[in-house]
């Protein structure tokens, strides 16, 4: 089943960095994932995220308010591949 990954952010530099890193991780590891960007502040708040950027995998908020390392992103995605 294809994973659904969302980057929550209004377009700030940190949000763009998280999107870039996540895309690189997905491509480098051949993860079967679809990445989309959520820029609407109301939708972002619906996830309970008060600080951007946010990383959402299969509708679960995994990170908010900071940019994780590529290694951390990879580990988080791997944890959710089968769950």
Residue 52: pLDDT band with limits 50, 70, 90: very high
Residue ranges of domains in the chain: 3-81
pLDDT above 70: residue 16? yes
Dihedrals phi, psi of 73, to nearest 5 degrees: -60, -45
Helix (H, G, I), strand (E, B) or coil at 10: coil
Residue 15 is among the residues annotated as catalytic for this protein: yes
Q: Which of 12, 41, 45, 50 is catalytic?
A: 12
Per-residue confidence (pLDDT) for residue 3, from 0 to 100: 94
Per-residue confidence (pLDDT) for residue 83, from 0 to 100: 54
CATH code, residues 3-81: 3.40.30.10
Rounded to two decimals, the pTM is: 0.93
Q: Which residue(s) pair with 64 in the sheet?
A: 54
Per-residue confidence (pLDDT) for residue 80, from 0 to 100: 87
Q: Which of 5, 8, 15, 38 is catalytic?
A: 15
């Amino acid at each position: 089943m294809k994973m659904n990954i969302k980057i929550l952010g209004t377009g700030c530099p940190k949000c763009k960095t998280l999107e870039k890193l996540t895309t690189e991780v997905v491509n480098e590891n051949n993860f079967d994932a679809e990445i989309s960007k959520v820029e609407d502040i109301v939708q972002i708040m619906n996830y309970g995220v008060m600080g951007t950027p946010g990383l959402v995998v299969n509708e679960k908020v995994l990170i908010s308010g900071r940019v994780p390392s590529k290694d951390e992103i990879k580990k988080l995605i791997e944890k959710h591949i089968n769950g």
